[in-house]
Each structure stands twice: as C-alpha cells, then as structure tokens.
A and B are shown apart, each in its own frame.
Chain A
C-alpha cells in the first residue's frame, strides 16, 4: 500500500499565487520528510526537507509545514513563477532506510 499519499495530482496556479501540495503518511517512525522537484527530462532534485522536531521550514519562496499529530506535511510555494512549473514529489524515510515517495503533483504556473 502507498506509504505516503500525495494530493493533488495536478495543480494550475496563476503567476504570483500560492501553490500548495499536501502529503500524508502513516508510519510514525519516519523521521525525514523531503520534497523533490523534477523538470521534464531530468531526475528529481532535492528542494527542501524537514525533520519532525520542527513545524515549519522556510527556504526562500518554499516552505514546508509539518503537522506531527495529523501525520501530514505540505509544501507551499509563495509568489509562484512559471519557472516553478515541474512535478513535485514528497517523500518520507527512517534514517538509514529507503525513501517512500508520493505519487507526484504536476504544477503548472500560468503567466
């Protein structure tokens, strides 16, 4: 079964808007939650990651919000730009073990 559930499958946002992608997990032993960004023809690249001891992490226009009690985390992209158009994957892992990926969200930012 899917260890990490991601939604929505696709997202269209106007330039300057906020893009929000959500993920949920079941295994409370997970201790690392990264987001990967993938452009067409490229492999996924690490965008931002969070550990469960903090509720939020911000890097530039990208923010992860983490809700440990709800077992959910989300990616917020502020002031979305056409260059942010890509597929985004959330993931979860326990240290030293494999990553479990969500099914991906295709983001399109309209100029």
Chain B
C-alpha cells in the first residue's frame, strides 16, 4: 500500500513564525497535493505539484508556499503564520494512471 507520511500530528506555533509542514510518500508518485480541512468548508486545495520543482497554485494559496526538491517530498511553508491558518493540513499523492488520492493522517496546526 502507498504510504503518505506527515511528519507532525500536532503543531503549536506563534503568530509570525515561519512554519514547515513536511510530507513524504513512498510509491514514486508524480503528483502531490496540500489541502486544508476546516469544519463546514470541506477540503480546500492550497498547492499541488506534478513533478520535482514544479508547483501550481490551488484555490487558497495566499500566505503559503511549497517546495518539492525531491520526488518523494512535498513541503508546505507558512511564511508568517497567522491565527486564521489554524487548521488541519492534509497531504495527498497520486500516481500517473491512477485516479484516486492517498492521504496522509494530517497535521493539526494551531497558531497562537
């Protein structure tokens, strides 16, 4: 089975800090995604990547950036964390020729 691992389950950061959320997948998938999940809003796409060093903005990229230096790793960066970025962050991957996503277990980020 594909495994998508998010490095932290819970994070508490202060307003203004630079925050790194890490995601690693072990099945050589080309496509990787970062979503945030908020009650009543579902999952909203922040950024995605189709290949190493490629990135595309999703629906809510403001305040975020990403990095994909290696195929298996996709990092989400909060340049200057704010309280409205308190959320559950989900990483997902998908291989070529595969329809479905595989999600990680999520990182619950609290910005205080």
* Complex: A83 Cα to B16 Cα, angstroms: 41
- The number of inter-chain residue pairs (CB within 8 angstroms) is 48
Which residues of chain B have C-beta atoms less than 8 A from A44's C-beta? 43, 90, 101, 103
Closest to A43 in B: B103
Task: Please state if B40 and A9 are interface contacts (CB–CB under 8 Å).
Answer: yes
Chain B 35-79 per-residue mask, 1 if CB under 8 angstroms from chain A, else 0: 100001111110010000000001000000000000000000000
A34: contacting residue among B42, B43, B99, B105, CB under 8 A: B99
Interface residues of B (CB under 8 A from A): 4, 9, 33, 35, 40-45, 48, 58, 90, 92, 99-106
B58: contacting residue among A49, A93, A98, CB under 8 A: A98
Closest to B39 in A: A104
The answer to whether residues A42 and B45 also contact, given A9-B40, A49-B100 and a CB cut-off of 8 A, is no
Q: Does A62 contact B (CB under 8 A)?
A: no
Interface centre among A44, A46, A95 (most CB of B within 10 A): A44
Shortest Cβ gap from B104 to chain A (Å): 5
